Structure 1
Amino acid sequence: MRKPLTNKTIEALKPKAKRYEVRDTYCPGFGLRVTPKGRKTFFVAYRYGIDQRRPALGTFPITSLAKARNEAISILRDVVDGIDPQQSRGRDDLTLREGVEAFVEQYAKPRNKSWRESERVLTRELVSRFGEREIAKMTRADILVASDAAMARGAKYQANRIVSNARKLFNWFVERGMIDANPLTGIRAPAREKSRDRILTDDELARVIAACRDMPYPFGPYTLMLLATAQRRSEVANMRWSEINFEKRTWEIPAERSKNGKAHNVPLSDFAIKIFDNVLQFSDCDFAFTTTRRSPISGITKMHRRIYEISETSGWRLHDLRRTASSKMAEAGIQLQVAEKVLNHISGSLGGIAGVYNRYHYEPEKRAALEAWAHVLAEIEAKGFDR
């Protein structure tokens, strides 16, 4: 989409279900990106040598249209003059907000399928505190303020994510010549992490299923779909109606949303198909689970706490439902490589050389495994729980 970008035009742009861009007719290469949450970020697209680049220039209205356009013109002028904008662009006044936006666009997105999580951690924990501070003035103590706050509220894994993502961010700044040294050099992870092994008991599963049956759309059906398909939280949250084939009883997760970057076909069992009876479908929205009709389901933390209360269970996470499904499949005699195909794992028995040469997709076996798991769930629900 191309429009003359003015303050009035930008203010009138509304978020859509998918991110979109508006290119400026006044300055070729300059544009604005609008996310489903309504965030509006300026960028400039150009080619230097063989590299195609799209650095972020700030977020509207914190960064004004005039400032962003002038910066874009300056960058494009450098390109015409044969000067590398990454080297010539003044680094002293680059803010952390601008640096994070550039890092996500130029580094995280092209290399990391879970870039959204990196963006979320950096934005929520660092940009929210120090967004307008110049990156050259960021200190080790600043980063530790954020990680210590996470530790204080009991989120020790989040504290680790803050440090690891910040370390990667500042290493990237160093590589680009934006700063001279990484302030986090020598800093260890704040907390020791243990691999989780939590599996829900049959009684807990019965309680959780009953609680979800009583919960309204989208939260109850969403949690049941996590349980029935054994897929990842983000994958189920982003499920689209256009990905579901009811005739073939399949759900196709596209490669761009799959953690390992490979498209994944999920057979839908009878248990899963019946969940759709309580899933609302809106004519103007492709998301199966949504609270806004413009973006995937939100408020999952509150939903989880509510399930705890209704089911009178505790100490488990949504990811533990996936581990429970895998373990129950093993109890039912499902072979390991089949369970890994259901989970869309590329490690374990299907990793390394075995994964290179074994191109069989195990579709019939995957369907049999999920039907067996559905049978287990149906029996557990029918049996009920101890009162």
Structure 2
Amino acid sequence: MARKLTDTFLRGMEPNTEERDTVVEGLIARKRADALSFVFAFQRHGKRHKITLGQYPGTSLAEARDKAQAHRGALQAGRMPHPADTPCRSVNDLLDRYAAHLDETAKDPAQVKAILAKHVRPSLGPYDLTSLTRRDVQGLVDRIRPLTVAGAVGRYVTAAMNYGERRGLIEHAIRNLEMPSTGEPRQRVLSDGEITALMTDWLPHGPDALARSQFGSIFALCLLTGARRSEIAELTRAEIDVANGVIHLSAQRSKGGRETEVLLSSFALRILAQVPLRGDKVFPVERPRTADAAGGTRPGRAMRGFVSGFSRAVADSQRRTKTDAWTIHDLRRTAATQMAMAGIEPHIVEAILNHAAPRLRMTYSVKPHEAKARAALEAWGTRVWGLAGWE
């Protein structure tokens, strides 16, 4: 359906709807959750294309029509329309273009777009880029708490402006923002006594029986494999190769955006063998949730069917074992540190942690350290088993 778009109509659009404009062919107003944006849709050589024009009301209806008309003029002249044909006027314009760039290049653009939508668009979005100053952006970063989020906002805004400058969308990017300090990096490593207390808390009936909860199995696997929380908590049955003792992770599941593997020692396999079969997800959510009004970003773990509630599970385990202030990532650090202290070579530990290797080694060496990594994980598992008093 098509109609003449008006501001009154745009303000009253229902979520998850779109409408074509009859004034400028190809202009579409699209409402997704609470955000309304303009796109220009066209066909060239039998293929469909769309260019994001801006988010309403930062980009007005008149501005959207001007941009769409410019793209239509390019088509009529025999040229492929390009976003750079319409330079950015406002911060919202720039963020729209950067969001489209992320959709094509980033592994998980939803997090970046969500942070920009929450912290940058409301305050800086309407600003004309020609009048935006470093003081404006620095002031925004300085006001945001917690500091980790403030640092993320500063990095993402800087990246958006650098992208705009490279693409000729803006004349000058704002650089050299003062990023907040979040203190010294964590160096928490569990002691032998803490490992004993925690393993017997997570698996109170031993490694060959049900864990205290799904969290107990997840925590123990993180400690034994050195894997990241998401790599274990969002594990699916299809990713596990029991015969070869490995978890196959796709590029979408790996932090580095590349296919990788998590090696499973015989000890990790014993724990996995006790996890009940309840569908394709190894650790499914117990109380499914539905999308809320903030849709449009990547849904949380529980909404994707995976277990959630890690903060409470960690606090409960800390209380039962009387251990202090450990995090799930500290389990990964503990595994790496303990293996290094046992004499495992640094590049073997790096391979176990799936840290990105130098480009030359990534190109010309295919799984060169798997045998040594497996031996290291077996030795680490033996040590953990001994601390827990298991055979």
Check whether TM > 0.5: yes
Equivalent position of 2:356 in the other structure: 346
Correspondence 1:226-245 to 2 at 5 A: 226-245=222-241
Matching residue of 2:207: none
Please give the secondary structure, in 1, of the residue aligned with 2:88.
Answer: coil
More off after superposition, 267-276 vs 369-378? 267-276
Local SS of the residue matching 2:244: coil
SS in 2 for 1:255: coil
C-alpha deviations, 1:15-73, integer Å up to 9, x for none?
xxxxxxx9x9x999989898xx9999876677999xx98644567x9899x99997996
Distance across 2 between alignment mates of 1:179 and 1:125: 21
Cα–Cα, structure 1 residues 186 and 268, in superposed 2: closer, same or farther, change >3 Å? closer
Q: CA shift at 1:342, angstroms?
A: 1.2
d(CA) in 1 for partners of 2:372 and 2:255? 22
1:190 aligns with 2:200: no
* Distance in 2 (alpha carbons) for counterparts of 1:224 and 1:39: 42
CA distance in 1, matches of 2:266, 2:63: 54
**Structure 1 residue 303, shift from structure 2 partner:** 4.5
Deviation at 1:252, TM superposition (A): 0.2
Report the counterpart of residue 251 of structure 2 in structure 1.
255
Structure 1 or 2: larger helix share? Answer: 1
TM-score computed with the length of structure 2 as normaliser: 0.68
Q: Structure 2 CA distance, aligned partners of 1:221 and 1:263?
A: 24
Paired residue for 2:98, among 80, 97, 103? 103
Structure 1: state its 5+ residue gaps: 14-21
* Structure 1 residues 44 and 332: alpha-carbon distance in aligned structure 2, compared to 1, 3 A threshold: farther
Give the Cα–Cα distance (whole angstroms) in 2 for the partners of residues 140 and 279 of structure 1.
55
1:143 to 108, 124, 137: 137
> Is 1:174 the equivalent of 2:165?
yes
C-alpha spacing 1:134/1:229, structure 2 compared with 1 (3 Å): farther
The whole-number CA distance in structure 1 between the counterparts of 2:221 and 2:306 is 14
Instruction: Specify the code of the residue in structure 2 equivalent to 1:335.
Output: E
Aligned residue identity for 1:312? K
| Corresponding residue SS for 1:262 | coil
Q: Is the aligned partner of 1:91 residue 2:88? A: yes
1:161 alignment partner in structure 2: 152
RMSD: 4.7
Alpha-carbon displacement from aligned partner over 1:80-103 (angstroms, at most 9, x marks no partner): 1327442343633x553x643431
The one-letter code matched in structure 2 to 1:89 is T
Percent sequence identity over aligned pairs: 22
**Does residue 314 of the first structure (1) align with residue 324 of the second (2)?**
yes
CA 1:354–1:180 in 2, change beyond 3 Å: closer, same or farther? closer
Distance 1:186-1:339 versus aligned 2 partners, 3 A rule: closer
- The residue identity in structure 2 corresponding to 1:381 is A
Alignment of 1:26-37 (within 5 A): none
TM-score by length of 1: 0.68
Rounded Cα–Cα distance in structure 1 between residues aligned with 2:217 and 2:177: 43
Distance change >3 Å, CA 101–CA 374, structure 1 → 2: farther
> 2:34 & 2:273 partners in 1: Cα distance?
29
User: Cα distance, 1:253 vs. partner?
Assistant: 0.9
Query: 1:198-347, aligned counterparts within 5 Å?
Result: 198-213=188-203, 218-273=214-269, 274-275=271-272, 277-278=274-275, 281-282=278-279, 286=281, 288-290=283-285, 292=302, 294=304, 296-347=306-357
What residue identity is the alignment partner of 2:156?
N
- Cα offset for 1:11? 5.2
Q: Residues 365, 211 of structure 1: CA spacing in aligned structure 2 closer, same or farther, 3 A cutoff?
A: same
- Consecutive unaligned residues in structure 2, runs of 5 or more: 4-9, 205-210, 286-300
**Quick check: 1:122 aligned with 2:116?**
yes
1:103–1:207 CA distance, 2 compared to 1 (3 A): farther
Deviations 1:174-200 (A, max 9, x none): 334444433x43322222754443322
Report the residue type matching 2:354 in the other structure: N
How big is the shift at 1:201?
A: 1.2
Change (3 A) 1:104 1:369: farther
What letter corresponds to residue 250 of structure 2 in structure 1? P
Q: Which residue is 2:375 aligned to?
A: 368
Q: Deviations for 1:264-320, whole angstroms, at most 9, x for unmatched residues?
A: 22222343232463466336xx57454635255555445544444444333443322
3-state SS of paired residue (2:155)? helix
